[in-house]
Amino acid sequence: MSVNQLLMDLSNSFGPVGYEDEVHGVIREAIEPYVDDIYTDVIGNLIAVKRGSNRRIGLFTHIDEVSLVISNIDDRGFARFEMLGGVDPKILISQRVKIRCRDGKERRGVIGMLAPHLQKQSSRGDVPSFDELFIDTSMNPDFEKIDIGDLVVVDFEAFEMNGKISGKSLDDRACAAISIEVAKEMAKYVNCPTLYFVFTTREEVGAMGAKAAAEELALELGVAMDVTHHSKEDNIELGKGPVLTVGGPNIHKEYFRKIEDYAKDHGHSFQYDYGPGHTGTDADVVQLAGSGTPTLLLSLPQMFMHTPVEVVQVSDVVNSARLLSGFFSFLEEVE
């Protein structure tokens, strides 16, 4: 499978916070040929293991997506909802949605609002709050089967354009694709640590999955991967390679120096981001595991984060995997 298709398959999968089972299926199929074991832990992380030396390194990428949950529905099929993760109400207006119901069926809806013709002039420019939005599910002949607690994601199909992929939930499933590519790339190297590819649950609501896995695995090094904002002002751009977070209290200084030197010495293109405090990623909890776990943060440039049209560059995914796989083998050679 091409990286492009993998990214689109991951994006299109249904995986609200804590309910990432469908995403697990896509990842299992893609990574199984390149690892020795794969399992789901108690909290819901999917973990793939590629056995090598006694050195234990973990790659953490979250696969949950910001989403919605039905909080009430009336007899007309109009449903109210709450957010799971950081959802901006502005991006929901006039969207189609998928509703995964507890009877196992998927139903559709639209997030409607009062037509412009019927709005008051004084409020026409206002952004509606969550209290003013609703999902119209009445087009389903059995909408009465939709109930409180059913899960909702925006209904958007990913697509390819000029070396880029646009779709929902590429935060952070694009980095899950990096992990899968690392597993493939490691076949090229004689020297290999034992690698744990941890596809984490519930990052969007507090990174509980990463915390549980890091505690259990007792790693020598943890590498968290997440997306970061494309910003020319901050010298972070799509197409210019992975982003290494430097500085701040959460990044292990010695391992950062090693990966930076390796990237420079071996001609890898990369960019810098600065982490002055909490990173808002799995890195924040991985570093606290046990008596402390050395942790790095590698980020993927992205446009339009937490919208249905997130954009990543395919070459950045490929080059991130090449950097990490080479670095892991390098650690085995020199230490």
Asked whether residue 162 is domain-assigned, the answer is no
> Lowest-confidence range among 170-184, 226-240, 255-269, 274-288?
274-288
Measured distance CA(259)–CA(252) in Å, rounded:
11
Peptide bond into 172 cis (omega under 30): yes
212 and 295 co-located in one domain:
yes
This prediction has a pTM of 0.95
Strand partners, 111: 135
250 and 116 co-located in one domain:
no
120 and 136 co-located in one domain:
yes
Number of folded domains in the chain?
2
Residue type (1 letter), 94: S
143 and 196 co-located in one domain:
no
Of 154, 187, 206, which one is at a domain's C-terminal end? 154
Asked whether residue 160 is domain-assigned, the answer is no
pLDDT score at 333: 86
What is the domain-level CATH number for residue 59?
3.40.630.10
For 135-186, the pLDDT digits (tens) are 999 999 999 999 999 999 999 999 999 999 999 999 999 999 999 999 999 9
As given in the structure block, the two tokens for residue 91 are 């991006």
Query: Which runs of consecutive H residues, i.e. helices, occur in 218-280?
Result: 253-265
34 and 125 co-located in one domain:
no
Measured distance CA(109)–CA(334) in Å, rounded:
56
Measured distance CA(307)–CA(291) in Å, rounded:
37
Q: Show the domain range for 239.
A: 3-65+168-334
pLDDT above 90 coverage of the chain, percent: 87
The pLDDT-based confidence of 247 (bands split at 50, 70, 90) is confident
Long-range contacts of 286-289 (CB under 8 A, 24+ apart): 286/58, 286/60, 286/210, 286/211, 286/214, 286/219, 286/222, 286/224, 287/222, 287/250, 287/252, 288/211, 288/214, 289/211, 289/214, 289/215, 289/217, 289/218, 289/219, 289/222
- The two beta strands, 46-50 and 37-40, are antiparallel
220 and 289 co-located in one domain:
yes
Asked whether residue 161 is domain-assigned, the answer is no
Of 103, 122, 154, which one is at a domain's C-terminal end? 154
Measured distance CA(309)–CA(293) in Å, rounded:
35
Asked whether residue 126 is domain-assigned, the answer is yes
What is the domain-level CATH number for residue 136?
2.40.30.40
Measured distance CA(28)–CA(180) in Å, rounded:
10
pLDDT score at 117: 79
For 94-119, the pLDDT digits (tens) are 999 999 999 999 999 999 877 777 77
34 and 72 co-located in one domain:
no
Asked whether residue 288 is domain-assigned, the answer is yes
Measured distance CA(38)–CA(24) in Å, rounded:
10
Q: Is the pLDDT of residue 229 over 80?
A: yes
The pLDDT-based confidence of 125 (bands split at 50, 70, 90) is confident
DSSP, collapsed to helix, strand or coil, labels residue 37 as strand
> Lowest-confidence range among 198-202, 205-209, 258-262, 319-323?
205-209
The pLDDT-based confidence of 65 (bands split at 50, 70, 90) is very high
234 and 316 co-located in one domain:
yes
242 and 252 co-located in one domain:
yes
12 and 144 co-located in one domain:
no
For 12-23, the pLDDT digits (tens) are 999 999 999 999
Which one, of 101, 92, 108, 226, lies nearest residue 172 by Cα? 226
> Lowest-confidence range among 65-79, 114-128, 200-214, 251-265?
114-128
Q: Is the pLDDT of residue 42 over 90?
A: yes
Q: Is the pLDDT of residue 56 over 80?
A: yes
7 and 100 co-located in one domain:
no
Which one, of 129, 23, 144, lies nearest residue 79 by Cα? 144
Asked whether residue 163 is domain-assigned, the answer is no
Asked whether residue 275 is domain-assigned, the answer is yes
Q: Quote the mean pLDDT of the chain.
A: 95
197 and 273 co-located in one domain:
yes
Q: Is the pLDDT of residue 132 over 90?
A: no
Residue 159: count of CB within 10 angstroms of its CB = 12
Of 154, 189, 216, which one is at a domain's C-terminal end? 154
Question: How many helices and strands, by DSSP H and E, does the chain display?
Answer: 7, 17
Measured distance CA(238)–CA(313) in Å, rounded:
6
